[in-house]
Amino acid sequence: MKRALVALLVCAAGSARGQTLLGQEQRLIDIHALLLDLPPVDAPGTYRAGQLGVGLEAIGVPPIDGSTGTPGVQGFKRQFTASDRTPVFPRPRVTLGLPAPPSYRAFVGVSYVPPVEVSSVSLHYIGGEAGFAYVPGPLTVGLRAHVLYAQSETPVTDPVLRDRLRVSEFGADVSAGYLLEFGALGVTPYGGAGVSRSHGNFRVTSDGVTLTSDDTAAALHAGVRLLFGARWLGVAEVDAYPGRLVHPNFRVAYLFDLFQ
């Protein structure tokens, strides 16, 4: 069980002090699951029918406190954490606009990370999303649903063994944005709120200990979308899960019109 706690600290952000040992372990599973969440990273109602966006996201990993125990008390340690390994990880993402009634827009999207091993760490990730928005003019209001499954393997409890974390997650959010046009540049500030439900399963390879946690978290997001010349897209967003995690996400993409 002690090894399991150390492993979870490596994988997740935030301090777990002031809780029971089991509570610390479950909280760390939950935070790592939220790092893998699929937030909008885009304004609502921005994809016309037949418009395809192919892009790459950079997911920011916030500073992680890897200390365990109480300072000055025997057994206190500082462990390696996810932010010691990398401050960011990439996530490819594709979005397609669907046909919708006048003054409305719809889309579907998918994100996939293949299980390529880098420095003895691998992440296999697939996520999907779908949304519908009311677009009467510059103001847009949209509803989005998303789901994901991910499995990560990394040597966190033993340098020659890799432990495994499996995460399944689903959620929904509502967003609003407003388009401002400056010649060839379109700027859309946006924001919204939602909820995310996750299930995490962490297994320590060396002793076979498995820990699980189920969590429901409120989700807040705010960002700005920049569209250059109707083709190049850039988005910067901050995602917050109150009491658990705050981190930035960035996205660049190129837009294609499939039916023109």
Q: Binning pLDDT at 50, 70 and 90, where does residue 185 land? A: very high
- Compute CA 28 distance to the chain's CA centroid, rounded to the nearest angstrom: 15
Query: Of residues 115 and 63, which shows the higher confidence score?
Result: 115
13-53 pLDDT tens trace: 444 344 555 666 777 788 889 999 999 999 999 999 999 99
Which residue(s) pair with 18 in the sheet?
Answer: none
At 139 the pLDDT is 97
At 154 the pLDDT is 75
Which residue(s) pair with 125 in the sheet?
Answer: 113, 150
At 19 the pLDDT is 55
At 71 the pLDDT is 65
**Angle, helices 2-11/21-35, rounded to nearest 10 degrees:** 30
Which residue(s) pair with 72 in the sheet?
Answer: none
- The DSSP code sequence of 52-68 is EEEEEEEEEPPP---EE
At 239 the pLDDT is 98
Please state the length of the chain: 260
Cβ-Cβ contacts under 8 Å for 195 (sequence gap 6 or more): 171, 172, 173, 216, 217, 218, 219
- DSSP code of 221? E
| Residue type at position 127 | G
- pLDDT average, residue stretch 108-116: 94
- pTM comes to 0.85
- Compute CA 170 distance to the chain's CA centroid, rounded to the nearest angstrom: 11
At 64 the pLDDT is 63
The answer to whether residue 151 scores a pLDDT higher than 60 is yes
- pLDDT average, residue stretch 242-260: 93
3-state secondary structure of 142: strand
Residue 238's nearest CA partner among 62, 110, 30 is 62
The answer to whether residue 4 scores a pLDDT higher than 70 is no
What distance separates the 2 farthest-apart alpha carbons in the chain? 69
At 122 the pLDDT is 82
What are the backbone angles phi and psi of residue 11, rounded to the nearest 5°?
A: -85, -20
What are the backbone angles phi and psi of residue 170, rounded to the nearest 5°?
A: -150, 160
Q: Binning pLDDT at 50, 70 and 90, where does residue 6 land? A: very low
CA–CA separation, 55 and 95 (whole Å): 9
Mean pLDDT over all residues of the chain? Answer: 85
At 68 the pLDDT is 52
3-state secondary structure of 34: helix
CA–CA separation, 54 and 52 (whole Å): 7
- pLDDT average, residue stretch 86-99: 92
Are residues 25 and 11 in contact, defined by beta-carbon separation less than 8 angstroms?
no
Domains and CATH numbers, the chain: 2-257 (2.40.128.20)
Cβ-Cβ contacts under 8 Å for 35 (sequence gap 6 or more): 12, 13, 59, 61, 82, 245, 247
User: What percentage of the chain carries pLDDT values higher than 70?
Assistant: 79
